[in-house]
Structure 1
Amino acid sequence: MWDELREKSVRMQVSSPTGASSDLYRAYEQDLRALEDAFPARAGQCGALLGIGRDVCLDVVSRPDAFARLWPKLRAGYLLDALERLDQKATPLGLIEGLLGDAARAEQGRQPSSGLGQDVRLRGASVIGSGLELEGELIQLSAFRRERRPARVRADCAAQQEAVR
């Protein structure tokens, strides 16, 4: 996670001595605010299924009031990712629909959580996810379209980091 955050800071040309994500959000605060109104939480909404280019993510919680509290931070994270890729083509509908189907068919694993409930893990050929289940109710689930990041992209990020130093 820290490597990805450092790479993102380099790509977005944000200096962060501590590697804190808050530096990224602060640097792009005006841009993020300009986009927020396009993605309001709707009454009764319990989740979001969003795509940026070929990346697709699903975040679901069991209650609309919980989602309403979580949505501002989730949305900010999605929008920060989107700022890097505003020039990309729209996510194909098939990829979005595919994530839902792949998540439903994915191999599921459960184990006791460190707190209450069961940790839920999803793993499939093109999806990975995790969540929390309590007394048979899915409380939270995050799932992502799984696509390996090419070594070339990692090498490009490493070269950019060297150039910044």
Structure 2
Amino acid sequence: MKLDLQDFFLTISSGEVSDFTVSSAHKLVMRGRFIRQSAFIKQRYQTTLLECHKQIALVTVQNKQVPTPALASKLGDLFQDLTTLNAQKTKYFLQRLLATTYHNSGKPFKYLANRLRTQHTATRITDLVGKDVGKIMNTTDIVQEFAHFCKQLYSLNIREGVTVPTPFEST
């Protein structure tokens, strides 16, 4: 990077260019350099991750065919390497998250927890397999089948003072 900067300033320092133009050009040169460096780091990470997964798959197949303590140890080491790679990526992500949301004073962890939390979708019963009728798709029939099931499950017709859910008639 030092050589890039020296070449840049030797080229620009002729005196014919204003300081503002030199400053703007310097920003662009540095930005390009950082983008290249970032792309190199990402490519190296992806290559290492892919190689680790390939080795794990290969050693797993070998270990299934002829299990030995040496292969089991090697497999454990490979999983440890994979865990280390993922931990480094997570650490980098957390550092970036803390840096970008520093003013929130501790809220980045809540933000990350919300992002990592699984999204719960609203569940709805779309079909039901009835005892005698097979698959039920109509919502009215599903409610009737459920009421019949509850009636049998809790023996509601035997108890006194308990209101029984009555299936409504389909029209």
TM-based fold match above 0.5: no
Of Structure 1 and Structure 2, which has the larger fraction of its residues in strand?
Answer: 1
Relative contact order higher in (CA < 8 Å, ≥ 6 apart): 1
TM-score between both structures, scaled by the size of structure 1: 0.20
Of Structure 1 and Structure 2, which has the larger fraction of its residues in helix?
Answer: 2
Q: Which has the larger radius of gyration?
A: 2
